[in-house]
């Protein structure tokens, strides 16, 4: 006779596989009528901005772009001029697995901006952006639970802990601040460029709320009334929370990344006005016990067990590794007017049973040469980091301001970033989903009612199954609370 187990479902979010993409976009930029002809390009910068996410049946996509600034020396030898533009960017990951709405977590990293002269009034600007997206769809694991079974059919029921993604979402918020330059800083005459990075310092789960704290790292470059270039950094702390769909244990995993969705900066005298839109994206994981029937037997009849393969990818843990970039720039001058650090997505290579990560980056410096003329220089570098597993998701994010330290004939450029790593595990379970039982056998009158045997390395379940007993009966007969020591001789009551 066949006994079907009741089927319930264990809900979670399953991650779809997406490859990081590196996108290059070029756009022609025409300078305004009020600006002088282009002599030579000095430097180019950018700020990535996320504008939207799309979830469609044939794939997922993100839209946004890069705010760009290009500083050039005019043909007539006058003060440096700056022009700005917007370069739109759209990235899509095709997929045939999308059914219904899902959730999308994305991060954009600006690897570099460069510009060249087309003619006296036009520039060609190129931006390079690394885009990472983690896509999640609702899914469920089948849970087979016993209903009315004959008393002679004994079950081995276990709970397997699984760390699963339960929620993915975002909290939109605004930074609206009026900042003041210190009295030692020259007053700005005109903003040349600005950028905003975010750093998440602390995040945790409190009941049905996700709480995170961090700071916005605002960097500005401006021209002073005397015609010189001056840069300055501000830190703007923020604290946010968002309502969750359920209550979770405080030790649940929470991964937060804040993306800029809008950015405006104005300067007037010593006052700097910042208005920025941010999307605090989060991934929440929680450990849940997956109940399953692992085995079954009957001392009175034969059983055939039907099993169902259950496969799940766990996002088991998060790790943030602080990284430092230190490079030497030989500019022939120690007067650095502006310095920025760009870091791309890590490139993964298998190394034995683990992974070697190579992180590309570059410093871009705007400096005055020995003759007092503005120049620029780019210094590329590559960091490496070894990870003991190949089951990872990874990206980078900025971590603090950059610094130029003048030497005798060189400049040390220093900056920080963090390497974000999500460790994944593939788990395969084989729970019993149905039981077919033969007719009960007649009792063997020669069968002993008590057996003495050494426990060895077998579990009590295996011993009971072999001897026609129950785990509970063996424990009661031997005064055990759990498993027996291997050298223990057991009294085994036979049913």
Give the CA diameter of the chain.
113
Would you write out the chain's pLDDT as a tens digit for each of its 495 residues? Answer: 888 889 999 899 988 878 899 999 999 999 999 899 999 999 999 999 999 998 887 888 999 999 999 999 999 988 899 999 999 999 998 876 555 678 999 999 999 999 999 999 999 999 999 999 988 989 999 999 988 889 889 999 999 988 899 999 999 999 999 999 998 899 999 999 999 999 998 999 998 999 999 999 999 999 998 889 999 999 999 999 999 999 999 889 899 999 999 999 999 888 999 999 999 999 999 988 999 999 999 988 889 999 999 988 777 778 889 999 999 887 766 689 999 999 999 999 888 888 999 999 999 999 998 888 899 999 999 999 998 887 888 888 888 778 988 777 788 999 999 998 888 888 899 999 999 999 888 877 767 788 888 888 899 999 999 888 889 999 999 999 989 998 898 998 987
Taking Cα atoms as reference points, which of 477, 472, 476, 448 lies closest to residue 461? 472
Residue 111 lies in a domain: yes
Surface-to-core class of residue 139, CB atoms within 10 Å of its CB (0-12 exposed, 13-18 middle, 19+ buried)? middle
Residue 231 lies in a domain: no
Last residue within a domain, chosen from 97, 132, 167: 132
Q: E strands within 244-353?
A: 253-268, 271-297, 303-307, 310-329, 335-343, 347-351
The answer to pTM > 0.85 is yes
Residue 458 lies in a domain: yes
- Fill in the DSSP letter of residue 460: H
Residue 140 lies in a domain: no
Residue 368 lies in a domain: no
Domain that holds residue 495: 447-495
Pairing of strands 310-329, 347-351: unpaired
Residue 475 lies in a domain: yes
Last residue within a domain, chosen from 90, 108, 132: 132
pLDDT on residue 351 = 83
First to last CA, the chain: 22
How many domains does one find in the chain? Answer: 2
Residue 269 lies in a domain: no
pLDDT on residue 16 = 84
Last residue within a domain, chosen from 100, 132, 164: 132
Residue 61 lies in a domain: yes
């Amino acid at each position: 006779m066949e006994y079907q187990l009741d089927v319930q479902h264990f809900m979670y979010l399953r991650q779809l596989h997406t490859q990081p993409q590196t996108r290059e976009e070029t756009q022609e930029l025409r300078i305004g009528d009020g600006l002088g002809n282009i002599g030579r390009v000095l430097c180019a910068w950018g700020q990535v901005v996320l504008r939207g996410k799309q979830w469609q049946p044939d794939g997922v996509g993100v839209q946004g772009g890069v705010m760009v600034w290009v500083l050039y020396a005019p043909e007539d030898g006058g003060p440096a001029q700056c022009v700005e533009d917007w370069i739109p960017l759209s990235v899509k990951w095709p997929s045939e697995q999308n059914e219904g709405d899902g959730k999308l977590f994305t991060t954009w990293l600006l690897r570099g901006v460069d510009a060249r002269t087309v003619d006296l009034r036009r520039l060609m600007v190129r931006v390079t952006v690394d885009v990472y997206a983690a896509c999640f769809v609702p899914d469920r694991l089948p849970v087979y639970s016993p209903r009315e079974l004959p008393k002679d059919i004994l079950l081995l029921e276990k709970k397997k802990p699984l760390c699963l993604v339960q929620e993915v979402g975002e909290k939109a918020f605004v930074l609206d601040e009026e900042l003041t330059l210190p009295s030692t800083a020259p007053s700005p005459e005109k903003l040349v460029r600005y950028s905003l990075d975010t750093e998440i310092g602390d995040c945790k789960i409190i009941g049905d709320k996700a709480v995170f704290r961090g700071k916005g790292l605002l960097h500005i470059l401006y021209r002073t009334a005397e015609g010189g270039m001056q840069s300055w950094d501000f830190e703007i702390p923020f604290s946010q929370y968002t309502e969750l769909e359920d209550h979770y244990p405080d030790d649940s995993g929470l991964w937060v990344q804040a993306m800029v969705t809008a950015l405006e900066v104005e300067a007037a005298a010593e006052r700097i006005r910042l208005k920025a839109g941010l999307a605090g994206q989060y991934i929440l994981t929680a450990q849940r016990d997956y109940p399953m029937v692992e085995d079954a037997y009957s001392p009175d009849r034969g059983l055939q067990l039907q099993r169902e393969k259950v496969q799940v990818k766990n996002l088991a843990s998060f790790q943030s590794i602080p990284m430092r970039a230190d490079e030497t720039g030989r500019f022939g001058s120690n007067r650095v007017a502006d310095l920025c650090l760009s870091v791309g997505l890590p490139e993964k290579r298998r190394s034995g049973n683990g992974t070697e990560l190579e992180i590309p980056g570059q410093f871009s410096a705007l400096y005055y040469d020995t003759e007092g003329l503005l120049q620029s220089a780019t210094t590329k570098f590559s960091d490496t980091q070894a990870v003991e597993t190949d089951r990872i998701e990874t990206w980078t994010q900025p971590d603090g301001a950059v610094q130029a330290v003048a030497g005798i004939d060189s400049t040390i450029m220093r900056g920080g970033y963090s390497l974000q790593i999500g460790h994944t595990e593939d788990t395969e379970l084989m729970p019993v989903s149905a039981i077919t039982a033969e007719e009960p056998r007649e009792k063997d009158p020669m069968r002993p009612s008590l057996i003495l045997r050494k426990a060895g390395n077998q579990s009590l379940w295996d011993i009971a199954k072999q001897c026609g007993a129950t785990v509970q009966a063996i424990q009661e007969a031997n005064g055990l609370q759990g498993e027996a020591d291997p050298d223990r001789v057991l009294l085994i009551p036979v049913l």
